[in-house]
Amino acid sequence: MKRITLSIIALLISVSCFAQEEIAFPFQGGKDAMIKFFKDSLVVSQDIIQKKAVGVVMFKFTADVKGNIKKTIIYYADDALLAIPVIEAIKKSNHKWVIPNHEKAHDYIMPFYIRYNLPETPDADLQKAAYDNYRNKRPIFPNNQIPLDMATLLPAITINYDVAP
């Protein structure tokens, strides 16, 4: 009797346990296509280049069934100046998102790292500009809780730009 009871319990537990659902990468073409798309689409403004701005921008956005971006939330940005080109690049990604089956919309979290390529030789002006940028940053960060819900964290996109000598 004990064996039958244990067998039934084990069977019920195994039936109720499901493996995590495998979903396709949420960008048409996969991870490499997404990284290439954002590296090509994100245009670093002259203002960023002049100020030698570097930093992180973290976004949460929602895609619907048709792949449209419905809402965008800035979780964190080292500087408001860095968030502007990222917003424009995310807008260009309309109709490229694939959400999991049986969902009407899905949330994604995407970090962007923006930095400049270091020149071959040390440059005192570049060091001064980098220090001034760091000292004058105006970060954007939440002052209240932000629910994550069922968001998917996407791979980070690193954007490098060249500084004028």
Give the position of tokens 């100020």: 51
Over residues 12-39, the pLDDT tens digits come to 566 555 544 556 789 999 999 999 999 9
User: CB 2: neighbour CB atoms within 10 A?
Assistant: 6
With CA atoms as reference, report the closest residue to 158 among 35, 53, 48, 43. 35
Q: pLDDT digit string (tens) for 77-86?
A: 999 899 999 9
User: What is the overall mean pLDDT for the chain?
Assistant: 85
Q: What is the mean pLDDT of residues 100-125?
A: 88
- Mean pLDDT over residues 121-130, rounded? 84
Number of helices (H), then strands (E), belonging to the chain: the values are 5, 5
**Structure-block tokens of residue 109:** 């979290």
Provide the residue type at 60 as one letter: K
Average of per-residue pLDDT across 133-153 = 81
**Per-residue pLDDT for 153 more than 80?**
yes
- Beta carbons within 10 angstroms of residue 47's beta carbon: 11
Q: Where do we find the tokens 């069934």? A: 65
Look at the pTM and tell me if it is higher than 0.85. Answer: no
pLDDT at 100: 81
The residue written with tokens 């000598």 in the block is 165
When pLDDT is averaged across residues 3-13 and rounded to a whole number, the result is 66
pLDDT of residue 61: 92
Q: What is the pLDDT of residue 19?
A: 47
